[in-house]
Amino acid sequence: MASRLHLLRLPEQQLLTTSRNTHRPLCSFFGASRALSSVALRGRYNPSIVAKTSARVSELAGTHGNFQGAILLGFGQNRHYADTIVKVPEMAESITEGTLKQFSKQVGDFVERDEEIATIETDKIDVSVNAPDSGTIKEFLVKEEDTVTVGQDIIKLELGSADGKKAGEPSKEPPSFETTPSSKPEQQKTQAEVAQPPSKEEPPSPPKPEPVPQKQARPQPSKEPQPQPGGQTTLGNREERRVKMNRMRLRIAERLKQSQNTAASLTTFNEVDMSSLMEFRKLYKDDVLKKTGVKLGFMSAFSRACVLAMKEVPAVNASIEGPNGGDTIVYRDYVDISVAVATEKGLVTPVVRNAETMDLVGIEKAIADLGKKARDNKLTIEDMAGGTFTISNGGVFGSLMGTPIINLPQTAVLGLHAIKDRPVAVNGKIEIRPMMYLALTYDHRLLDGREAVTFLVKVKEFIEDPRRMLLG
């Protein structure tokens, strides 16, 4: 017993030598096993020492394989990992809170580093919350649909290995070691069961008599709803469904109402003959697609036409700022065009920046990239910040005519509509031409009617003769 007690107090570095010199193999086995467990309890996880000690335990165990399995299992249970807290990430300067829309994982799921584990919905975009490191989700600290702020704790993550199990969770299968004699009776029993002859099949039971068919009952006439007092009849069940508005929808409603209450909105209309632009697109779209990979559309032409028209009417690109509704006009030498894009969650307006420096192909490519990001829900705050003028194309949905609402603090918005063949007078003759209605809604506090109409007529002239845009 003295050798055993002495062995338990030895450090792991001296374990192998002492175990070889002892005259009591069983005590050495217990001592080596105890030392192996103490390594785990003290957190000294040295792979080389553990490997050597485990090998010595196996050597000393001999026929005591059950002891070895129990000790190795206990060793695995004593490994511990630290927890980390996942917080709401930083968003944009103007966004301090959001709604935790959904968790992408469940408690107990293993996540890799940078894997998405939750989505926070703001009034502009959805923000992804990613795992700071690999580990297992231990606890959700908030619930779905809760309002969360930047820096708030939302998930407790238990760091660990990438085997998909909780950190510190014992393996469901015991460690492999040599078969002990105690397992032989079970093997013999299994072999005996296999050696038994198959049981004889039972004779088939006699067929059951078929039931005598009965006469079908006469169908009962359907009961009509009884008249209610007052001559009213009960209709079928009618259901109502109430769904809470998401943050983006709430923000859109707030901004539109703010625009209606702030701006002195007025809309002027005109119509444009799309024949020349459609012919222009037909001639060059294949060459443009082949050289640049960009599909030439109509939005780039209208954007370019607006940029050129603003040179003659710069107030369209200006805005009113200041307290009490504004007392200062801000004029700009750059044009950032907000392009309205419809998504499942609502209307978003990503911005094509410095449109005055781009040609038709450059504008078209920028619009296509922003549209794809919007549909894939990958827009960032920077993609939608700012904007000095908005173009909204309701024609893609079949709108014939409408009055768009100003996107404050901007001063005007141009609405495009569906192209329809209509009879028009051309050089004293009636011809069928592809026509589109244009609608310009503007803030009458800054723009007079003359300026608004002049701007819209300039846009019309550039569209009806696209070659003029090359001279601008």
299 and 438 belong to one structural domain: yes
Question: Is position 5 within any domain?
Answer: no
Active-site residue, from 114, 146, 286, 448:
448
Tell me what pLDDT residue 43 has: 44
Question: Is position 413 within any domain?
Answer: yes
393 and 271 belong to one structural domain: yes
Bond before 409 cis per omega within 30 degrees = yes
Question: Is position 244 within any domain?
Answer: no
Q: Domain range holding 149? A: 85-159
Block residue for tokens 């062995």: 7
> What are the pLDDT tens digits along the chain (472 aa)?
444 444 444 444 444 444 444 444 444 545 555 555 444 444 444 555 555 555 655 565 554 445 444 444 444 444 445 788 898 888 766 678 888 888 988 888 898 888 888 988 887 777 888 888 888 988 899 888 888 888 889 898 888 765 545 444 554 554 544 444 444 445 444 444 544 555 545 555 555 555 555 545 555 555 555 555 555 555 678 999 998 888 778 888 888 899 999 999 999 999 999 999 999 999 999 999 999 999 999 999 999 999 999 999 999 999 999 888 788 999 999 999 999 888 777 788 899 999 999 999 999 999 999 988 888 888 888 888 889 999 999 999 999 999 999 999 999 999 999 999 999 999 999 999 999 999 999 999 999 999 999 999 999 999 999 999 887 6
Which tokens hold the place of 162? 């990438």
Which residue, 159, 194, 221, sits at the end of a domain? Answer: 159
Query: Catalytic annotation on 444?
Result: yes
Question: Is position 202 within any domain?
Answer: no
Check if the beta carbon of residue 401 is closer than 8 Å to that of residue 439. yes
- Average pLDDT of the residues of the chain: 77
Which residue, 128, 159, 190, sits at the end of a domain? Answer: 159
Q: Tell me the DSSP string of 222-262.
A: PPPPPPPTTS------------PPPHHHHHHHHHHHHHHHH
Question: Shortest CA distance to 333 belongs to which of 311, 312, 351, 350?
Answer: 311
Check if the beta carbon of residue 88 is closer than 8 Å to that of residue 148. yes
Distance CA 171, CA 165 (A): 9
CATH code of residue 447:
3.30.559.10
313 and 446 belong to one structural domain: yes
Distance CA 420, CA 274 (A): 10
Distance CA 32, CA 62 (A): 13
Check if the beta carbon of residue 455 is closer than 8 Å to that of residue 268. no
User: Per the structure, how many domains does the chain have?
Assistant: 2
Q: What is the number of other CB atoms lying within 10 angstroms of the CB of residue 369?
A: 14
Question: Is position 122 within any domain?
Answer: yes
Distance CA 71, CA 431 (A): 95
Question: Is position 315 within any domain?
Answer: yes
pTM beyond 0.85: no
Distance CA 12, CA 14 (A): 5
CATH code of residue 112:
2.40.50.100
Q: What is the number of other CB atoms lying within 10 angstroms of the CB of residue 417?
A: 24
